[in-house]
Amino acid sequence: MNPLHTTEGLMQFGLRDRWYPLCPSEHVRPGQLARLDRAGEELLLWRDAAGVVHVQEDRCPHRAARLSHGVHMGDRVACNYHGVQVDAEGTVVSVPGSPGCALEGRRVLRTFPAREHGGAVFAWFGLDESAPPAPLEVPGPIAGEEWAHFLCYVEWDAPYRYSLDNLLDPMHGAFLHRNSHTMFAGKREAVFQIRATDKGFVFEKTDQRGVNFDWVELTEGGAQWVTLDIPYPDTAGPGGPFTIVAALSAISEHRHAGFFWRCRKVSGWQRDSWRFLYRNRLEARHFAVLEQDREMAEAMPADAWDRENLYQHDIALVRMRRLLRAEAAKQAARLTEPAAPAPVPVA
Amino acid sequence: MPASYENAFGDELEAVYGRGVHDLPGIVAALNASGVRPANGADWTESSFTAELARLSGTEN
């Protein structure tokens, strides 16, 4: 059975009917055929002559050879095995070995709606591949002009769920990151509450804000976003707190890609100042913090979720997992239900 | 590796900010009291300081 048709598989590779970030935009170079495994799919990424990015299955419709081993032909890709040519819509435009055969003109290559935003390539993985995608709605800090941001991209040897857990667990900031430049202050114990929002929830300390990693928001709609704030020390200069917008995508059951947009609400000379300090020194400090998270996540046992003893700080994890599992079960049921009989046309 | 000048400039800027000085006139005065100077060796002014930040910040985002 296709793992993407099971509740457990969808938990491992990510829910469908979501936009997932695949890679930084610059990873897909003009004239190149890039192969990536993301969200349980084997993908081919390429840019057409106009630079528009396309995301398709890395599988020749003829005999399943890897199109990524083929030839980039500007507005189409030619498979290297038998020369079959497929365009950006997924239509076979030429079968040189058998011109005029029935395969020509058929739209048979799975093609995923693709967008670029914030320096990353996103693709829509729909439950129903013929249905149009939901709009790609991005969180405020990476949507507009009032914010500056830098994208940090990482690949970790850990299930994507462990990163999601980590992001929804603000309390680890005061312990794991206690020696960092941003999370050295604040209480070592806290009481949290969950506040429902339109598309998810905010998980926050009830008695401390603006001191450490004190709140986090999960947005679960047409994409899965985690947003959080960490206060900057005075040395970072004028501007708002350090804000992270994170999105994750599975590479395999035990590996994932992490996208961390590091944002700050700053404009004018203050923006230039933050961008300079970020490039010159803050990036290295932020990265050192992320490395602590990576080491923790990569060392976790594969069955971490099977034997845990959670306490009050973990209620956001519990809520998130319940949310995902319910949605995964619903999607798995839809994917495995027998096709509905075709509607009888009304005379 | 950033140029040593950029590191020195960054060091001073962080030190000034760390003292809670976040306003333009205050920053310029504090920088002029430090050893870091723009390339032409002149005192910092608000416009030379902001122009330097723009240059050092790069343009792409």
Q: Cα–Cα distance between A346 and B8 in angstroms, integer?
A: 79
Q: Please report the pLDDT score of residue A185 as a whole number.
A: 80
Nearest-by-Cβ selection for A276 from B18, B57, B61: B57
Cβ within 8 Å, pair A148-B61: yes
pTM of the model: 0.94
- Assess whether pLDDT exceeds 60 at residue A347: no
Kindly report, residue by residue over A184-232, the tens digit of the pLDDT.
887 878 888 999 999 999 999 888 788 788 889 999 989 999 999 998 9
Kindly report, residue by residue over A46-91, the tens digit of the pLDDT.
999 999 999 999 999 999 999 999 999 999 999 999 999 999 999 9
Neighbour count for residue A13 (Cβ, 10 Å): 26
Cβ within 8 Å, pair B2-A234: no
Kindly report, residue by residue over B23-49, the tens digit of the pLDDT.
999 999 999 999 888 888 899 999 999
Spatial neighbors of B39 by CB under 8 A, at least 6 apart, are: none
Tell me the average pLDDT of chain A. 94
CA angle A320/A177/A284 to nearest 5° reads 105
Cβ within 8 Å, pair B14-A273: no
Kindly report, residue by residue over A96-107, the tens digit of the pLDDT.
999 999 999 999
Q: Residues 263..292 of A with a Cβ closer than 8 Å to B: which? A: 268-269, 271-273, 275-277, 279-281
Nearest-by-Cβ selection for B54 from A233, A238, A272: A272
* Coarse DSSP helix, strand, coil percentages of chain A, rounded to the nearest 5 percent: 25, 30, 40
B10 inside 8 A of chain A by CB: yes
Mean pLDDT of A103-130: 97
